């Protein structure tokens, strides 16, 4: 198969490496100098400096060449959520494409499939998600992902592209559920990082993850998702990984918020995109518009935007009235 990966960050590079073990893959980088350096060194020195590139992986900054390479094959959009609309709009109308970003478009409150419907209505589209750190995928550590699309043939393409001895691909038709899980888990990982940064203990971490999962499910069902999806890879699986894993960017944001650092300083230290920062406010707005209670997400958004201190946010959550667990 001929596969083009649009976006040479850590996750795009990792999936390009995984696919290139069996297929011809062209990785597109926006920055020409970065593309030249990667081509010369056969590695992504900025994001994955120790990952070995297979022989069938090439890199370019020529967008037209990247699209031509994937003609009749598969396009993977591996850019942050803020760039998804631009990247999808640049694809041919008949493309077969998955996106990897996990978030909500800030300006519109749209999920990925809604963006695709507006700018690429005739294409075969879907989302590839699940519990995965780029460094581990690039290194060949066992990983499981879910490919979600309304087009079963597109899910089969994802299986053919990525399913291997180290990377399992499951299929789903619940695009909404997979996207909501991917977006909300980033916000909840910030919450868990805050709790850990305040040394609130493992009991607090378990409570946040569990009640956060309930918030995620409520929002997803309100938007048309299946509740069962949130017990799967893109829900519980990705939430546990992102909330507890030391490689999690969003968890690191929470840890630094607990220290009282300003968001600007946190993002400079991080050096990578943490999608939870950019979609927390949008997630809470989406919840309010749909009559869904998400108190943990509300508090994360308030802490990020300095409307409340981290410790005060925890106190506010603990003072909430008791209720049945199913609510």
Binding residue ranges for sn-glycerol 3-phosphate: 102, 130, 132, 185, 238, 248-250
Where is the binding site for NADPH, in residues?
Answer: 11, 30, 47, 102, 134, 249, 273, 275
Sign of the torsion formed by the C-alpha atoms of 226, 228, 234 and 238: positive
Active-site residue, from 23, 69, 85, 185: 185
Give the whole-angstrom CA distance, residue 144 versus residue 166: 8
Distances (CA, A) of 230 to 1, 158, 225, 287: 31, 21, 9, 16
What would the two tokens of residue 277 be?
């920062």
CA angle 185-191-194, nearest 5°?
Answer: 145
Pairing state between β 143-148 and 124-129: antiparallel
Q: How far apart are CA 198 and CA 192, in angstroms?
A: 10
Q: Binding site, residues?
A: 7-12, 30, 47, 102, 130, 132, 134, 185, 238, 248-250, 273, 275
In the annotation, is 185 catalytic? yes
- 132: tokens are 């995965």
Nearest Cα residue to 132 out of 13, 288, 258, 28 = 13
Enumerate the known binding-site residues for NAD(+): 7-12, 134, 249
Lookup: tokens for 301: 């958004």
Q: Which of 44, 36, 40 is nearest to 16 (CA)?
A: 44
Stated length of the chain: 327
**End-to-end distance of the chain based on CA atoms, in angstroms?**
47
Active centre residues (catalytic): 185
């Amino acid at each position: 198969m001929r596969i083009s990966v649009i976006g040479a960050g850590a996750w795009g590079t990792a999936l390009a490496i995984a696919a290139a073990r069996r297929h011809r893959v062209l990785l597109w980088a926006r920055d020409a100098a970065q593309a030249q350096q990667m081509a010369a060194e056969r590695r992504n020195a900025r994001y994955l400096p120790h990952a070995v590139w297979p022989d069938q992986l090439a890199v370019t900054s020529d967008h037209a060449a990247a699209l031509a390479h994937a003609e009749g094959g598969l396009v993977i959009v591996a850019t942050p959520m803020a760039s998804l609309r631009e990247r999808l709009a640049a694809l041919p109308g008949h493309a077969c494409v998955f996106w990897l970003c996990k978030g909500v478009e800030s300006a519109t409150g749209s999920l990925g499939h809604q963006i695709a419907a507006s700018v690429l209505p005739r294409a075969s589209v879907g989302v590839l998600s699940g519990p995965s750190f780029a460094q581990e995928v690039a290194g060949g550590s066992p990983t499981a992902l879910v490919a979600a699309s309304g087009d079963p043939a597109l899910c089969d393409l994802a299986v053919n592209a990525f399913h291997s001895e180290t990377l399992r691909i499951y299929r789903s038709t619940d695009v909404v559920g997979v996207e909501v899980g991917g977006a909300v888990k980033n916000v909840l990982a910030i919450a868990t990082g805050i709790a850990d940064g305040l040394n609130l203990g493992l009991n607090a971490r378990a409570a946040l993850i569990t009640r956060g999962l309930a918030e995620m499910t409520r929002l997803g069902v309100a938007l048309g998702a299946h509740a069962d999806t949130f017990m799967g890879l893109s829900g519980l699986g990705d939430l546990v990984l992102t909330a507890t894993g030391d490689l999690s960017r969003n968890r690191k944001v929470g840890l630094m918020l607990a220290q009282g650092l300003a968001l600007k300083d946190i993002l400079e230290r991080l050096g990578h995109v943490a999608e939870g920062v950019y979609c927390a406010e949008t997630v809470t707005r989406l919840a309010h518009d749909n009559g869904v209670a998400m108190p943990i997400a509300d508090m994360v958004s308030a802490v990020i935007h300095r409307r409340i201190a981290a410790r005060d946010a925890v106190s506010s959550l603990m003072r909430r009235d008791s209720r049945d667990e199913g609510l």
